[in-house]
Structure 1
Amino acid sequence: MKKLYPAIPLLVLVLLVGGWGVHHFSERRLEAGIADFRASLGHDATFSYATARPRTLARGAHFTAVTYHNPAMTLTAADVRLGGLTGNNVQGEKIGSLVLRDVKVMTPDSTISLDRVALTNLVLPNTARAAADMARPLGFDSLVLDRATLSNMHLAIPRSQTDITVGRMVVGQYGSGRSSNLDVERLATQINLAPTRRLSVEHIRLDGPDFAGEVASLLQSGHLIHESHAQTMDLKKVEIDSTHPMLQIDHVATSRSSTETEDKMDTTLTNLTIWSTGSDNPSILNAFGYDHFTGNIHANSTSDRSAGRIHLEPLTVSAPDMGNLSMVAELDQIPFDDMSIIPETARIVSAALTWEDHSLADHVLAGLAKSRDMDVDTYRQNLLASLTNSGDDSMRAMGRFLQSPSDHPLQVALRPMKPVNLMMLGIALSMAGDPSVAAPLGLTISTP
């Protein structure tokens, strides 16, 4: 043991010199890495910080008061920590851990602030150095990321007076060709243009989409890609309100399985409530004497993308206050690449529905009587007499239904000679008593 004592100072000296050497090596590596990063940005982009310290063996760094700026955006962070740096410009720069605190991203149109951003196993895209006259692209479509956690995010868009807040957002398995997932807690959106509109969702869960592929498709073509693998969506406590409540859903659950040409979807809405817009801007609910609709909706659908068709079997609506609806239908001319125009293009090829009435028939009759400035009982008796004495089987069936709605479920079948545009269906059905309209529609009404 005594022989070891003289060696201890030498060991301490070796450790000190070695530690200084490792630290010096780490600092040189960090300086070189920062210089290389700045060179890759192009002349219109800048990167600055208050302090920078290397981590062990030059495998990471700790920055304070970071600012990145290019003509399109400015990013600031009070604190940035990187760890697990590997890879190169050929294989891709890999960051095992990247944590940013007190983050703000500013663009000409919006500002995003976040308390904390934590990224795990990030692989940066292999992009060439920026040209002299342009900033390096962000490359969101070609990033690879195992997990991203964003805390207390706030997005402000002054031009549209829109504010979006998210309590917590987690994105998993992001990357082209990957089956990704998204988990969001406490999403809230407010549009401050009069009248103010607010939307909130307590919890969102998406599983299955290829988010990176979707971003790439949007950047390249402006359309989302069609994905041929299973996906699910789950929403809890969805609310929309303005000066009064507008919509609330306790739970939304959707599952989808797809091939290259076909999609199968199953969607359930639990405790959906829709309120009327008030007497100053009456809705169809007001016209029928209701101030809100409450019910459950379940839809099974099969979409043939190659033929532009959707088959519903069934669509069910259970509304305790109004009644129950069950419907099967087939529609064509479905614009799968732009579903926003579906009311303009979609047509009904065939449909069959069954309505079990609780109160809707009486409300509709009262509304029709009021629109004609007639007493409800008088209007009912006149209408029933006309329907009962009709020579048309469908009209007599309608009379039996209106005579005792709760005892006679109404069955309506529609098999038009040629498909009917959705926008024209309401007008066509309002003329169902005219044989010249009913016959081309293949419209029949019956009661069991």
Structure 2
Amino acid sequence: MKKIFPALPMVALVLVVGSWGLHHFAQRRLEAGIADFRAAIGPNASFSYATAKPRTLARGARFTSVTYHNPVMTLTAANVRLGGMKGNNVQGEKIGSLILQKVQVMAWGNTFSLDEVDLSDLTLPNGARPVDNAPQSLGFDSLVLGEGVFTNFHLAAPATQTDMTVAHMRVDHYGLGQASHLDLDHLATQINLTPTRRITVDHLELDGPDFAGQVASLIQSGHLVHETHPYRVDLKKGVIESSHPLLQVDRLVSSRTSTEVEDKMDSRLTNLAIWSTGTDSISLLNAFGYDHFMGNVHVVSAGDRSAGHLRLEPMTVESPDMGNLTVIAELDQIPFDDMLVVPETARVVSAAITWEDRSLASHVIEALARSRETPVDAYRQTLLASLSASDDASMRALGRFLQSPADHPLQLALRPMKPVNLMMIGVALSMASDPSIAAPLGLTISTP
């Protein structure tokens, strides 16, 4: 025991000297790393901070009041913490943990801000030094991320008068060729162009797509590439509104499996509500005397990508107010990689439609009577008499349906001589009593 006490001062001295040595070593490593980073970003970019302190064993650092600037963007953060630095290798700089607090980014005329960004298992890609003083690429298309958590994201885009906030967002497995996952809470977007639009989503999950591959495609070509990863979308409480509500859905669940030759999708919307855009609108809802649609929609489809063909098998719409619709159809000219233009390009090859009515038939008759400035009862009697006396079995079947819609589901079959544009089907059906229209459509009507 007596021999230990004289040794204690020596032990303390070794610890102090060792600690100072480790700190000095870590500080030198940090300064060298900062110098390498400044050299890598090129002469037109700058990196500054108020304080920089190394973490234990030189495996990370803490920065305050950080600013990164190049000709296309400026990033500031009140605090930055790096941990788990694994050094630069062929794949790039590997960082176990990167946390940024009170972040603001100004780029492309827009401003992004976040309370906190927490990134794990991050790999920053190695890239060539900037050429001709050009800024280093941000590398969003080629970095790799295990998990990213973003808190209180806010985007202000003056050019499009758009303001967007997200309370919480998590991205998992971001990297070229990886099946990624996005989990988002409380999205709110306001577009202040006339008329103003507000879009809100309580919760959104997107599982499966290769986010990095899509970003790379947008950067390189401006277009999204065909996505072959199976994916699933789950959206809860989506709302679009202006001065009045436009659309609301309690839940949207959609899964898609796509290969080079086929495309399969199963989508379900629960408690979908669509409102007319106003009393002066010429929408079908207003034309038929409804102020909104409420119901459930389920679509199952299978597509042949090489031929541009799509089969609905089936599509069902269930509306407690209007009625139930079932459609089985063959369509062609389907642009699978740009489905937003389907109404403009798609053509009906064949279709079988079943309608179980609750109120739509009477609304249609009333709308037709109003358009002819004729009393509804008088118009109905004239129409029923004309249909029952027709030589066409389809028109007589339509008359039986209109006489007692609740007792006679309406069935329509379409097999046109040549495919008909999807947008023209409604117009053609409204003229179905004209044989010159019905015959080319291959239209038959029946009431089982």
Q: Secondary structure at the match of 2:281?
A: coil
- Deviation, 1:101, is 0.3
C-alpha distance after superposition, 1:296-343 (max 9, x if no partner): 000100111111111101100000000000110011011123223322
1:204 aligned partner, one-letter code: L
C-alpha distance in 2, partners of 1:179/1:338? 21
- Deviation, 1:223, is 2.3
**What is the aligned partner in structure 2 of residue 197 from structure 1?**
197
**What is the aligned partner in structure 1 of residue 421 from structure 2?**
421
1:42/1:132 contact within 8 Å kept: no
- Deviation, 1:215, is 1.0
Show structure 1 runs of 5+ residues with no match. none
2:444 aligned partner, one-letter code: T
- Deviation, 1:29, is 0.5
Tell me the TM-score normalized by structure 2.
0.98
**What is the aligned partner in structure 1 of residue 206 from structure 2?**
206
**What is the aligned partner in structure 1 of residue 241 from structure 2?**
241
C-alpha distance in 1, partners of 2:156/2:49? 26
C-alpha distance in 2, partners of 1:9/1:106? 55
C-alpha distance after superposition, 1:64-118 (max 9, x if no partner): 0000001111000000000000131434100100000000000242100100000
**What is the aligned partner in structure 1 of residue 19 from structure 2?**
19
1:169/1:185 contact within 8 Å kept: yes
C-alpha distance in 2, partners of 1:348/1:25? 73
C-alpha distance in 2, partners of 1:145/1:103? 19
**What is the aligned partner in structure 2 of residue 257 from structure 1?**
257
Poorly superposed stretches of 4+, deviation over 3 Å: none
- Deviation, 1:144, is 0.6
- C-alpha distance 314-91 of structure 1, shift in aligned 2 (>3 A): closer
- What's the RMSD between the two structures over aligned residues? 1.1
Instruction: Summarize the alignment of residues 195-344 of structure 1 with structure 2, pairs less than 5 Å apart.
Output: 195-344=195-344
C-alpha distance in 2, partners of 1:28/1:269? 59
Q: Secondary structure at the match of 1:277?
A: coil
C-alpha distance after superposition, 1:116-164 (max 9, x if no partner): 0000010011212222420110111111100000000110001111100
Tell me the TM-score normalized by structure 1.
0.98
1:37 aligned partner, one-letter code: F
Show structure 2 runs of 5+ residues with no match. none
| 1:169 equivalent in alignment to 2:185 | no
1:197 aligned partner, one-letter code: R
1:376 aligned partner, one-letter code: V
2:175/2:211 contact within 8 Å kept: yes
| 1:440 equivalent in alignment to 2:413 | no
**What is the aligned partner in structure 2 of residue 121 from structure 1?**
121
Aligned length: 448
2:34 aligned partner, one-letter code: I
- Deviation, 1:220, is 2.0
**What is the aligned partner in structure 1 of residue 378 from structure 2?**
378
2:164/2:187 contact within 8 Å kept: yes
Q: Secondary structure at the match of 1:433?
A: coil
Deviates more, 1:165-174 or 1:255-264: 255-264
1:145/1:175 contact within 8 Å kept: yes
C-alpha distance in 1, partners of 2:338/2:270? 27
Deviates more, 1:83-92 or 1:306-315: 83-92
The percent of aligned pairs where both chains have the same amino acid is: 68
- Deviation, 1:432, is 1.0
C-alpha distance in 2, partners of 1:241/1:424? 29
1:257/1:263 contact within 8 Å kept: yes
1:276/1:282 contact within 8 Å kept: no
